[in-house]
């Protein structure tokens, strides 16, 4: 897999995310050692960027965690998410289409769908993670929002209170399974209860999370 030109980091090649002109073809494996990412090599190639390893964290023993994400492509909003045990094993995952809406509304609808499914499965008292810090603030603050987003937020707040759920932020680089589900575009909405049913990218990301393999989050150097 090419470090610069393949979409291994998330939704875009790394070459499109940095200001390096025509970087050479290099394998991701050249930057990754047995003990983790080669930070010195990363700094050598990305001097204006601060690389940081981020990892999806397992929930506490005997608990679960919900992760959700959304995507808007060519006007179509889609969402996905999954619930995992304290061992990182799949409880269920889902994919759902929301029609035409903006990204923030899609993020909220994906979270609401995940909460509704958990409620139907009688899953209570857990942490739900989303990679939209704006959504986390809006759910926590009960502040004003435009219609129909305000209605979705009210449903999220009500369900969260009834179920004992706290909504927290996670870096998008650590939310890769939910991202892969949201972008998977299967033929129809669905709920998956077996790992083999998941889209290929989601299966791969799920295994990496179970092994606590970190992803790289890039931040700009501040002068």
DSSP the chain: -BTTTSS-SSSS-GGGTS--SSPPP-BGGGGEETTEE-HHHHHHH-TTEEEEEE-PPPPPTT-EEEEEEEEEETTEEEEEEEEEETTS-EEEEEEEEEES--HHHHHHHHHHHHHHHHHHTT--S-EEEES-HHHHHHHHH-----TTHHHHHHHHHHHHHHHT-EEEE--GGG-HHHHHHHT---SS-EEE-SGGGS-HHHHHHHHHHHTTPPEEEEEEPP-
Given this model, what pLDDT does residue 117 score?
98
Instruction: Please check the confidence at residue 221 and state whether its pLDDT lies above 80.
Output: no
Domains of the chain: 14-47 (no CATH), 64-210 (3.30.420.10)
pLDDT value at position 97? 96
**Residue 222 confidence (pLDDT) above 50:** no
pLDDT at 219: 64
**Tens of pLDDT, residues 2-44:** 777 877 665 567 777 766 777 888 887 887 776 677 777 877 8
Residue 26 Cα to chain centre, angstroms: 26
pLDDT, tens digit (0-9, with 9 covering 90-100), for 150-176: 999 999 999 999 999 999 999 999 999
Which residues are CB-contacts of 113 (< 8 A; sequence separation ≥ 6)? Answer: 68, 79, 81, 94, 96
Task: Specify the pTM.
Answer: 0.80
Per-residue pLDDT tens digits for 55-109 = 999 999 999 999 999 999 988 999 999 999 999 999 999 999 999 999 999 999 9
């Amino acid at each position: 897999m090419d470090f610069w030109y393949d979409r291994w980091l998330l939704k875009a090649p790394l070459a499109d995310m940095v200001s390096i002109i025509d970087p050479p073809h290099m394998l991701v494996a050249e930057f990754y050692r047995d003990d983790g990412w080669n930070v010195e090599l990363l700094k050598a190639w990305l001097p204006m960027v601060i690389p940081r390893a981020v990892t999806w964290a397992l929930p506490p023993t005997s608990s679960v965690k919900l992760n959700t994400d959304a995507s808007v492509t060519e006007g179509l909003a889609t969402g996905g998410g999954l619930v995992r045990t304290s061992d990182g094993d799949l409880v269920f995952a889902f994919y759902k289409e929301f029609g035409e809406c903006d990204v923030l509304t899609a993020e909220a609808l994906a979270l609401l769908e995940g909460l509704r499914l958990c409620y139907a499965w009688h899953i209570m008292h857990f942490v739900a993670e989303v990679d939209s810090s704006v959504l986390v603030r809006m759910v926590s603050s009960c502040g004003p929002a435009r219609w129909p987003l305000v209605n979705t937020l009210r449903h999220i707040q009500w369900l969260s209170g009834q179920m004992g759920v706290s909504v927290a932020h996670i870096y998008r680089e650590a939310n890769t399974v939910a991202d892969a589900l949201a972008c998977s575009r299967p033929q129809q909405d669905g709920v998956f209860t077996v790992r083999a049913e998941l889209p290929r990218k989601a299966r791969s990301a799920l295994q990496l999370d179970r092994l606590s393999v970190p992803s790289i989050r890039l931040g700009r150097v501040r002068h």
